[in-house]
Amino acid sequence: MAGSELATIPRDSFALAWPGDYSSAATLTEIWLRSFKSHHTRVNYARDLRAWLAWCEACRVAPPHARRAHADMWIEHQREQGAADSSIARRLSAVASWYDHLIANTADDPVPLATRNPARTRARPKIDEDWSPTVGLSRTEANKLIGQADRHSATAAALIRLLLFDGLRIGSALAAQVEDLGYDRGHRVLNLEVKGGTKARVPIPPPVGEAVDVMLAERGNPASGALFMTRSGRRVYEMWAWRLVRLLGKRAGVPQWADLSPHSLRATAITEAMDAGMSLRDAQDFAMHKDPRTTRRYDKSRHNLDRHGSYMLATRFGERE
């Protein structure tokens, strides 16, 4: 499993909501989660649904009887807790998908499990497709981060290099197995499951391959199992990776270290590749974006700060007399 959480919901979570037939709701929920090919998606959606069920319990309302007002209150509660609108929107999307699944599969039953979808609310945050809260690194900062990763551990050295050199999503990197390493036409490669549950094969550049070899050698060169593991022998999970990136950023003296995430390394990889002259089309392939507009967002954002007019005006105004 890629992560510290299983993509499941405890069956007894449904007992209060559907006292007469909670097993049916639990079974349909398991089927709903399995319908998503990506394990990363299943884990996130299971977590989102658990949060909604907990909110319903706190409101003393059974999920089948929840109304849009309960979803609206949940949205405001999340904002008060500091959640980003993008996270709130994703959670609402997951819950809405779950209700749609229950409604569609039990509409003809004598007593449907759900008849309305409270997550289909107008209060759901609208997300600006051109805006991303992710902060990136300069090339100098990225090099300092690599240096700190080398000092931290062989696992950190290999993982940070893989994220920076191949621009991978953290879920794909952490789901990789040792047996996913291989060769193809002279290239050392890593076979991955990427967003949407599809397969991809990415080359492993020599600096990454050398770090991976050192990491595996420390573990006795296993032939199978998770590619990235903690010292305690567990598969590296996402929160561990988040903490690692911020710790290394802090040690490297990166000013925005507290805002870094594994996605910061992916964003850095994509923008640095385009700065190095990679075409937008090649950058789309590199990032494994299905929609070129997603790649264009990285291309646009990298110039917004570098070319911002405030730098030009800073040379024209404010001279001290």
Q: Does 168 share its domain with 303?
A: yes
Structure tokens at 273: 């590749």
Q: What is the pLDDT of residue 4?
A: 40
Return the CATH number at 91: 1.10.150
Q: Does 79 share its domain with 146?
A: no
Give per-residue burial for 290-321: e unless 16+ CB within 10 Å, then b: eeeeebebbbebbeeeeeeeeeeeeeeeeeee
Task: Look at residue 119 and tell me if it is in a domain.
Answer: no
Contact by Cβ (8 Å): 166, 159: no
| For residue 1, pLDDT beyond 60 | no
Question: Would you list the DSSP string of 149-216?
Answer: HHHH-HHHHHHHHHHHHH---HHHHHH-BGGGEEEETTEEEEEEE-TTS-EEEEE--HHHHHHHHHHH
Q: Does 94 share its domain with 144?
A: no
Q: Does 180 share its domain with 50?
A: no
pLDDT band at 181 (very low <50, low <70, confident <90, very high): very high
The proportion of the chain whose per-residue pLDDT surpasses 70, expressed as a percent, equals 79
Q: Does 68 share its domain with 210?
A: no
Average pLDDT over residues 245-268: 94
Provide the number of structural domains found in the chain: 2
Contact by Cβ (8 Å): 193, 38: yes
pLDDT band at 281 (very low <50, low <70, confident <90, very high): confident
Rounded distance, CA 236 to CA 245, Å? 13
Scan for tokens 């998503």, then name that residue. 36
Q: Does 144 share its domain with 234?
A: yes
Residue 57 CB neighbour total at 10 angstroms? 14
Q: What is the pLDDT of residue 83?
A: 87
Starting at the edge strand found earlier in the chain, the sheet holding 187-193 runs: 181-184, 187-193, 199-203
Average pLDDT over residues 99-121: 92
Q: What is the pLDDT of residue 130?
A: 56
Nearest to residue 258, comparing CAs of 267, 269, 266, 247? Answer: 247
Task: Look at residue 122 and tell me if it is in a domain.
Answer: no
Which comes out higher in pLDDT, residue 316 or 167?
Answer: 167
Q: What is the pLDDT of residue 128?
A: 61
Structure confidence by residue, pLDDT tens digits, 297-308: 666 655 566 666
Q: Tell me the torsion sign for CA atoms 142, 290, 237, 2.
A: negative
Task: Look at residue 24 and tell me if it is in a domain.
Answer: yes
Q: Does 95 share its domain with 147?
A: no
Average pLDDT over residues 69-89: 92
Average pLDDT over residues 26-50: 86
The terminus-to-terminus CA distance of the chain in angstroms comes to 65
| For residue 268, pLDDT beyond 50 | yes
Task: Look at residue 58 and tell me if it is in a domain.
Answer: yes
Domain end, chosen from 85, 106, 127, is at 106
Q: Does 182 share its domain with 281?
A: yes
Return the CATH number at 241: 1.10.443.10
Task: Look at residue 280 and tell me if it is in a domain.
Answer: yes
Contact by Cβ (8 Å): 87, 109: no
| Nearest 10 degrees: Cα torsion 59, 61, 63, 65 | -130
Of the ranges 221-235, 244-258, 272-286, which one carries the lowest mean pLDDT score? 272-286
Q: Does 259 share its domain with 210?
A: yes
pLDDT band at 180 (very low <50, low <70, confident <90, very high): very high
Average pLDDT over residues 53-77: 93
Contact by Cβ (8 Å): 106, 64: no
| For residue 5, pLDDT beyond 60 | no
| For residue 44, pLDDT beyond 70 | yes
Of the ranges 15-24, 31-40, 48-57, 76-85, which one carries the lowest mean pLDDT score? 15-24
Burial classification of residue 62, based on how many CB atoms lie within 10 Å of its CB (0-12 exposed, 13-18 middle, 19 or more buried): middle
- Bridge pairing between strands 181-184 and 199-203: unpaired
Q: Does 294 share its domain with 190?
A: yes
Q: Does 29 share its domain with 154?
A: no
Task: Look at residue 96 and tell me if it is in a domain.
Answer: yes
Task: Look at residue 124 and tell me if it is in a domain.
Answer: no
In order of 31, 160, 162, 195, the CA distances from 273 in angstroms are 40, 16, 14, 21
Parent domain of 84: 11-106
Q: Does 93 share its domain with 190?
A: no
Structure confidence by residue, pLDDT tens digits, 118-132: 999 998 888 665 556
Domain end, chosen from 106, 125, 159, is at 106
Task: Look at residue 317 and tell me if it is in a domain.
Answer: no
